[in-house]
Amino acid sequence: IIYVITPTYSRPHQKAELTRLKSVFLHVPSLHWILVEDATHKSKLVMNFLESSGLSYTHLHQSTPPDWKLQDSDPKWRKPRGVLQRNAGIKWLRRKLRGERDLRGVVYFADDDNTYSTELFKEMRDTKTVSVWPVGLVGGVMVERPLVSRAPTPHVTGWLAGWKPDRTFATDMAGFAVNLALLLRRSDAEFSFTSSIGHMECDFLEKLVTLSQLEPKADLCTKVLVWHTRTERPNMKDEERLRKAGTPSDQGIEV
């Protein structure tokens, strides 16, 4: 099984993002989607969406405390996003699989706005420790990727990155998957708000593996199968006017 943990939050294009993920995930056999809303309760929108999705899923919620919530005025990199939501997903797995003997599976952290190919999931499926691969359009460059040496057996020697390439694991959240049994065995493996900026992935992976244990995937990290895309916040200029007039365009219709 591939467990995909996705943090998500309410915004005009949330359902569009989830719809794009659904289209990919429906192509992937034995995928279980753990969708974690950053909210104080589960929303009707996400609930109905999942119910009619045809996917195997678990719907959770876990709100980010106000102190850690990104404000519209903050630059994007100021605060880590999705931290508690990913941890809620991990906790759910620990609880649900406690005492389970068959722990074959993989865990992947998939933000709701990235672009995933179906091939990506084939690559990660047989992860024994932590597998890694290139990620497109991230960190101010076209692609961040593990550097791979073929001899004596293929292994990762370092990272090609524009920003802080000297990090032990200079990869984005989208660039790795973890073996399920390994993740559950390391009971301290979770994400932290207090990681220094840009080191969240790194600090997490340090609890799980060393560089030499990484499994390079995607043709020895020569193929881009996932892209760190972001969606523009849609222009809602006229909507504000309509709302003030008491006639919002989405009255009685879910967008």
Ligand X SMILES: O=c1ccn([C@@H]2O[C@H](COP(=O)(O)OP(=O)(O)O)[C@@H](O)[C@H]2O)c(=O)[nH]1
* 39-56 burial: b if 16+ Cβ within 10 Å, else e: beeebeebeebbeebebe
With beta carbons less than 8 A apart as the criterion, state whether 227 and 137 touch.
yes
For 233-237, the CB contacts below 8 A with 24+ separation are: 233/11, 233/12, 233/13, 234/12, 234/13, 236/12
Cα–Cα distance list, 145 to 58, 70, 110 (Å): 31, 28, 17
Q: 161-186 burial, b if ≥16 CB within 10 A, otherwise e?
A: beeeeebbbbbbbbbbbbbbbbbbee
Q: Any idea what the Cα angle at residue 189 is, between residues 221 and 82, rounded to 5°?
A: 75
**Minimal distance, residue 174 CB to ligand X, in Å:** 9
Q: Which two tokens stand for residue 93?
A: 């797995």
223 touches, from ligand X, its own copies, Mn ion, none (C-beta below 5 to 8 Å by class): its own copies
Let me know: does 36 contact 89? Beta carbons within 8 Å.
yes
Instruction: Kindly tell me which of 51 and 250 has the beta carbon lying closer to its own copies.
Output: 250
Q: Which is nearer to its own copies, 147 or 202 (CB)?
A: 147
Find the binding residues for its own copies in span 117-156 (CB under 8 A).
117-118, 134, 136-145
Asked if residue 26 binds its own copies (CB under 8 A), the reply is: yes
Which one of residues 37, 38, 111, 203 is an interface residue with Mn ion (CB under 5 A)? 111
Assess 206 for contact with Mn ion (CB under 5 A). Answer: no
Cβ proximity to ligand X: between 89 and 105 the closer is 89
Question: Smallest distance, Å, CB 160 to ligand X?
Answer: 19
Q: Which does residue 166 bind out of its own copies, ligand X, Mn ion, none, counting CB within 5 to 8 angstroms by kind?
A: none
Q: Which amino acid is at 107?
A: V
- Active-site residue (options: 201, 215, 232, 239): 201
Q: Is 239 a catalytic residue?
A: no
By CB under 6 A, name the binding residues for ligand X.
6-9, 38, 64, 69-70, 76, 81-82, 85, 111-113, 230
Please report how close the Cβ of residue 191 comes to its own copies at its closest, in angstroms: 23
Nearer to ligand X among residue 14 and residue 179 (C-beta): 14
Provide the residue type at 225 as one letter: L
Residues that bind its own copies (CB under 8 A): 12-13, 15-17, 19-20, 23-24, 26-27, 115, 117-118, 134, 136-145, 160, 162-163, 222-224, 227-232, 234-239, 241-242, 248-250, 252-255
Catalytic residues: 201
